[in-house]
Amino acid sequence: MATGELAAHGAHAHAAPTSWIRKYVFSLDHKVIGIQYFFLALTAVFVGMFLSLLMRIHLIWPGVSLPIFGEIQPATYLSLLTMHGTIMVFFVLTTAPQGGFGNYFLPIQIGAPDMAFPVLNMLSFWVTALAFGVMIAAFFVVGGAPLHGWTGYPPLSALQAAGPGEGLGADLWITSIALFCIGALMSALNFITTTLDMRTKGMTLMRMPLTCWAWFITAILGLLAFGVLLSAGILLLLDRNAGTSFYIPLVTINGQLAGHKGGSPLLWQHLFWFFGHPEVYIAILPAMGLCSQLLSVFSRKPIFGYKAMVYALLSIGFLGFMVWGHHMFMSGMSPYTAFAFSVMTMAIGVPSAIKTFNWLSTIWKGRIRFASPMLFALGFVSLFVSGGISGPFLAQPVLDIQLHDTYFVIGHFHLIMGVASIFGMFAATYYWFPKMFGRMMSEGMARWHFLITLIGTYAIFMPMHYLGMAGHLRRYSQLTELNYLHPLVGVQTFMTYAAFVTIGGQFIFLFNLFWSMKFGKRASDNPWEATTLEWITATPPPHDNFGGHIPVVFNGPYEYSVPGAPRDFVMQTDPPLVLKAH
Amino acid sequence: MGLVLLVVIWLITFISAYFFIAKTWWLPVGASAAAAGIDHHFGTTYLLMGFVFVAAQVLLGLFAWQYRDRGSAGKPALYSHGNNTLEITWTVLTAVLFIGLNFMSSSIWASERFRPAVSNAVQVEVTGMQFAWYFRYPGPDGKFGATKPELQDPSAGSEGAIGLDTTDPASKDDVVAGVMYVPVNREIEVILRAEDVIHSFFIPAMRFKQDAVPGIAIHMHFTPITTGDYEVACSQLCGLGHYKMHGILRVVSQKDFDEWLAAREAEKQ
């Protein structure tokens, strides 16, 4: 096996490029590609955040005229929410944790010189970047961006006459998603192969850091989910442009026959959510892996229940494919099916709870260092709990009757899939920035960024639960029409102010990021005194990651505060631990 | 920083919990037979999840502060890789809690959705279109007349809007209204249809929500128990005017309902 692994290493090594274009643009180096993904996601997150700010402004000051944009119309509001959701889910939550940090650190953490397929890796990035360009283009075509929401339910999304933005804008939206799927599929193949074939000597599966487990399982989810979404998207494009009727039954729009018959709108929902629910885990699993890692590193304690954590990740991945119907309790799907999906959904709460117990037990009796990555990891646990406990409400169809399509859902998924995942990304940025850019980020700015973001996001998303209980529906561009919404406008106003402050706080992060690249304190090779392989190599790592030598692993990834050891951490490559107790 | 974390996490937890406990914003007052059971189960779930929420956040804040690095004076961190008994205990406990909750609510779901409407239920066909709801009653013959997509003309309103085929004898006594009149304490069978895109028929006070999907007629039921006017909203994004696609459910006594229906029949003749 050892020879096989070494042969694999040899086959994937490639010479360092010399031209600027091959080094920074069309690079085959997983580290450069990781940084490219990171900056793509960073651009996307600021675009997505800006769109949400426009939405929040429109909700409470519908008539206000903004500089450049003018007055936001109801149609524009719906386009904003569609594009906000799509950009955030695909180009931020899927792109940064996996494409960005996974690309950069998976090979290093398993002791490989690069990903298994460097050319495929480069292609995945550029296809994803192209997809982003196509998505943004939807804003600038006649009719503007589509208004059908990020879930794009047909017939609304399938018929040009159904609303503004459902013309070329909608075609571009679907094309972009299809391209994104192609990029994600190529990337998933690469991650799976790399994890299985490229581990260095001694790096058994059960010695992999939980980050690698998370990226690996995320890639498997991606491989199974994005293929289905790609097919679903192609069928929708055919319905729109080739006269097919996969999703469109006999309908009239404003009295005019649409010219289709026999299709099923529910087919799209099944295909979309077969992707859509695993997608939630694609967004959150890398954050779970990373935060497990950070809680251990900064508590100076082994992770509590490593095996339980691995099994929990695996069962979340497995069950994640059996719960998609909980998005469809009110869709007209059979109520018996709804009950089955409901049981599976409640079951997936169990591994999530196991992880929370293990996180709390990891910091219990630790020696916690409050460095910026740790702050965000602790914030992640808080948000994961807060976003998680609203899950069992929505998972029960009886309660979903009242809560479905209300702000309760928006609060739920923003806390857990949005903000918790983003806390994972912030933690990753603060943690790995020194390795990626050779300098430390400012801890002072990071603390302010952390406090503003934690308090701010709770202030935005917690009140949404109250609104949802009161029956406040999502995707309403004006709050004037339903009488029972009137008493709730004050809460919306509060949330808009909270959004201003929180978004303002993100500029501290942006400034810290670029300022520290140039002026940050120089980073040592292992500034956090962590044990995994990225910390044994130079900062930043050389082209082949380990400077011509192949690391050999003897220890697990979380050996902190080992009794009798000379320092409070034992690197994975240190001589094997022989513990008296064992 | 440990103390700051403790204070921030606890404050967030207690302020969030306060508004839930004080019921500053809460479910609208229920006015259907099912509402009490649903609300009761909501309360049970909410108590259990509220306990988990507060317990987890309080421990998180407490541990962060209590186990902060106290420099050379502090104790070294505990060297432990976990505890299988604990893992098994909390796995079993959460499995029982979560799946148990689910089975507790299954009888309510069954009575809402598994069982068809009773045979003497008052039938109302609800049709959604961009951006209005229309309500049709079958009239004395108890039969809905045929509708045809090619006859649908929203600008014509009521009968024209839903494409009623007036040549069908069964359609002669059909009444189409813009307000949903129903008698109190009678089971209402709702037959949901949509003409163009997916809509969703939501009556918060009745704890009633169901998508109206083009191409399918979905049969549902509910029993209003308090008279009055209730707002109806569209809860599925259906296009530009989604936010203004609303209607009124008017729950009246059986006598008032019969009189209203008779008057509409008389108008048709």
What does residue B86 show for φ and ψ, rounded to 5 degrees? Answer: -60, -45
Residues of chain B with pLDDT > 70: what percent?
Answer: 100
The 10 Å CB-count burial string (b at 16+, else e) for A239-278 is: bbeeebbbbbbbbbbebeebebeebbbbebbbbbbbbbbb
B62 reaches A (C-beta below 8 A): no
CB contact under 8 A, A306 and B81: yes
Q: How distant is the Cα of B125 from the closest Cα of chain A, in angstroms?
A: 16
Measured between beta carbons, the chain B residues lying within 8 angstroms of A254 are: 130, 154, 196
Residue B21 at interface with chain A, using a CB cutoff of 8 Å: no
Partners of residue B49 in chain A, C-beta under 8 Å: 389-390, 392-393
Q: What does the block give as tokens for A463?
A: 């009140």
pLDDT of residue B209: 97
Q: A50-53 long-range contacts, Cβ below 8 Å, gap at least 24?
A: A51/A80, A51/A81, A51/A83, A51/A84, A51/A87, A52/A80, A52/A84, A52/A499, A53/A499, A53/A500, A53/A503
Query: Hey, are the CB atoms on A471 and B27 less than 8 Å from each other?
Result: yes
Which residues lie across from B136 on neighbouring strands?
Answer: B125, B176
Reading chain A (582 residues) residue by residue, the pLDDT tens digits are 344 444 445 555 677 888 888 888 999 999 999 999 999 999 999 999 999 999 999 999 988 898 888 888 888 999 999 999 999 999 999 999 999 999 999 999 999 999 999 999 999 999 999 999 999 999 999 999 999 999 999 999 999 999 999 999 999 999 999 999 999 999 999 999 999 999 999 999 999 999 999 999 999 999 999 999 999 999 999 999 999 999 999 999 999 999 999 999 999 999 999 999 999 999 999 999 999 999 999 999 999 999 999 999 999 999 999 999 999 999 999 999 999 999 999 999 999 999 999 999 999 999 999 999 999 999 999 999 999 999 999 999 999 999 999 999 999 999 999 999 999 999 999 999 999 999 999 999 999 999 999 999 999 999 999 999 999 999 999 999 999 999 999 999 999 999 999 999 999 999 999 999 999 999 999 999 999 999 999 999 999 999 988 999 999 999 999 998 889 999 999 998 765 444
Residue B204 confidence (pLDDT) above 90 = yes
pLDDT in tens, B27-43: 999 999 999 999 999 99
State how far the alpha carbon of B200 is from the alpha carbons of A405, A488, A500, in Å.
10, 22, 32
What is the C-alpha to C-alpha distance for residues A196 and A175, in angstroms, rounded to an integer?
A: 32
A-chain CB neighbours of B233 within 8 Å are: 471, 473, 482
What does the pLDDT look like over B212-251, one tens digit per residue? 999 999 999 999 999 999 999 999 999 999 999 999 999 9
What residues of A are in contact with residue B94 (Cβ under 8 Å)? Answer: 349-350, 353-354
Coil, strand or helix at A371: coil
Burial-class residue A498 by CB neighbours within 10 Å (0-12, 13-18, 19+): buried
Give chain B's count of helices (H) and strands (E). 5, 10
Tokens of B3: 């103390």
Q: Quick check: B58 contacting A, CB < 8 Å?
A: no
Asked if residues B214 and A155 have their Cβ atoms less than 8 Å apart, the reply is yes
Selecting from A300, A356, A398 the residue whose C-beta is nearest the C-beta of B105 gives: A398
Q: Which of B38, B79, B153 sits opposite A562 (nearest CB)?
A: B79
- Closest B-chain CA to A382: B57
pLDDT at B74: 80
Phi and psi at residue A560, in whole multiples of 5°? -115, 150
- Residue range B122-268, CATH number: 2.60.40.420
Which residues of A are less than 8 Å from B210 in CB distance? 330, 332
CA distance A480 to B102: 37
Instruction: Tell me the shortest Cα–Cα distance from B18 to chain A, in angstroms.
Output: 11
Q: Which residues contact B255 (CB under 8 A, 6 or more apart)?
A: none
Identify all chain A residues contacting B42, using CB atoms and an 8 Å cutoff: 393, 399, 402
Contact: B27, A469; criterion CB under 8 Å: yes
Residue-wise pLDDT tens digits, B95-128: 999 989 988 999 999 999 999 999 999 999 999 9
What residues of chain A lie within 8 A of the CB of B1, using their CB?
370, 375, 447
Strand segments, DSSP code E, in B73-227 are 122-129, 132-137, 175-177, 180-183, 188-194, 199-203, 208-212, 218-222
Q: B92 at the A interface (CB within 8 A)?
A: no
Instruction: State the pLDDT at residue A12.
Output: 58
B43 interfacial to chain A (CB closer than 8 Å): no
Considering chain B, what percentage of its residues have pLDDT values greater than 90?
Answer: 89
DSSP state of A22: I
- What would the pLDDT profile of B132-158 be if each residue is shown by its tens digit? 999 999 999 999 999 999 999 999 888
| CB nearest A484 (choices: B41, B45, B204) | B204
A564: closest chain B residue by CA: B79
DSSP 8-state secondary structure symbol assigned to residue B198: -
Cβ <8 Å between A301 and B208: no
Per-residue model confidence (pLDDT) at position A13: 63
Chain A positions touching B163 (Cβ under 8 A) are 252
- Of residues A26 and B268, more confidence is placed in A26
pLDDT value of position A582: 43
Q: State whether A447 and B214 contact (CB < 8 Å).
A: no
Domains in chain A, start-ordered, CATH in brackets? 2-250+258-535 (1.20.210.10)
B122 — phi, psi (to 5°)?
A: -80, 120
- B12, pLDDT greater than 60: yes
β-strand partners of B129? B132
The residues spanned by each domain of chain B are 2-68+82-114, 122-268
The answer to whether B73 faces chain A, any CB pair under 8 Å, is no
What is the C-alpha separation between A477 and A80, in angstroms, rounded? 10
Which residues 6+ apart lie within 8 Å of B17 measured at CB? Answer: B50, B53, B54
Distance between B267 CA and the closest CA of chain A, angstroms: 26
Q: pTM (2 decimals)?
A: 0.95
Q: Which of residues 145-174 of B touch A (CB under 8 A)?
A: 149-150, 152-155, 163
Residues of B in contact with A486 (CB under 8 A): none
Cβ–Cβ under 8 Å, residues B105 and B34: no
Identify the burial level of A289 via C-beta atoms within 10 angstroms of its C-beta, where 0-12 means exposed, 13-18 middle and 19 or more buried: buried
Q: Where are the alpha helices (DSSP H) in A61-88?
A: 74-86
Burial (0-12, 13-18, 19+ Cβ within 10 Å), A554 = middle
CA distance A376 to A384: 12
